[in-house]
Amino acid sequence: MENAHLRLGLLEYVRMTEKASTRIRVRVDRYMGEDRQAHLLSVFGNDSDVGAITAAVHEKATFTLTFPDSTAKDVTLGEHTSCYKGAVTLPGRKHPVRHLLAVSEELHTNGSTGRTLLLRYRREEAWATLVSFLGLPADPKWADHILGIIEGKKRIEEIDGIGCQPVLISATTEETLEWIGDGLRSNALTFPDSRGPIVWPRYSIAALLGHGGAGTAVAGEFTPAE
């Protein structure tokens, strides 16, 4: 993790009262967003700072986010954000570091409006996600053909990220079913040779963030933040 601080962002929140203003800063290790709309925000800091940021998220506050390249923009998670808090114990540190993971309403219902957000773009992973979220009858072997169509239609957009390379795929269930039907009629796609369940690869969060391979298990605990 050498020079890990160079890959972190900075989240700032200014809390104003009648008598004083307080500036709160926490480090950002993961972020996904479009323009001002934040979809995924992972921050860490001391107990009071993370608590203040959690409260501000629930109040639909606007934050200043500084990216590792020093560019900055104002962002907000909007309404109905889901927050999860945890703690990380570090060797030689008396108190654990507090961690907050905030997820926008759209990311929480990912894919339901024909917009699918991914932490990174790999055809196999993207296809497995689309099939799951859009409720498609499909085969893993169809990934190259269908994603090739989506790429050709320029339906994949890179969005802002810290600690990941997120993308937005715009494709509805109806559109994707039409592309599957066209592929089957043209024999570009074929049904499985045998009957029975289709086995899909499993991807862990660590794998999606580039820290492991498919099938890797990740252990951890988060609790909903009040």
d(CA 165, CA 119): 6
Q: Are 70 and 92 in contact (CB under 8 A)?
A: no
Q: What's the pLDDT tens digit per position in 50-93?
A: 999 999 999 999 999 999 999 999 999 999 999 999 998 878 87
d(CA 54, CA 36): 18
Range 208-222 average pLDDT? 43
SS (H, E, C) the chain: CCCHHHHCEEEEEEEECCCCEEEEEEEEEEEEEECCEEEEEEEEECHHHHHHHHHHHHCCCCEEEECCCCCEEEEECCCCCEEEEEEECCCCCCCCEEEEEEECHHHHCCCCCCEEEECCCCHHHHHHHHHHHHCCCCCHHHHHHHHHHHHHCCCEEECEEECCCCEEEECCHHHHHHHHHHHHHCCCCCCCCCCCCCCCCCCCHHHHCCCCCCCCCCCCCCEECC
> Which among 221, 153, 218, 211 is positioned nearest to 182, based on CA atoms?
153
Q: Name residue 84's beta-bridge partners.
A: 101, 224
Q: What's the pLDDT tens digit per position in 171-213?
A: 999 999 999 999 999 999 999 888 878 878 777 777 666 654 4
Q: What's the pLDDT tens digit per position in 90-133?
A: 788 788 899 999 999 999 999 999 999 999 999 999 999 999 99
> Which among 103, 189, 74 is positioned nearest to 141, based on CA atoms?
189
What is the share, in percent, of the chain residues with pLDDT greater than 90?
Answer: 73
> For position 204, what pLDDT does the model report?
73
Angle CA(23)–CA(28)–CA(31) in degrees, nearest 5? Answer: 120
Range 3-7 average pLDDT? 66
> For position 217, what pLDDT does the model report?
30
Which pLDDT band, with edges at 50, 70 and 90, does 150 fall under?
very high
User: pTM for this structure?
Assistant: 0.83
Which pLDDT band, with edges at 50, 70 and 90, does 144 fall under?
very high
d(CA 45, CA 120): 26
> For position 89, what pLDDT does the model report?
86
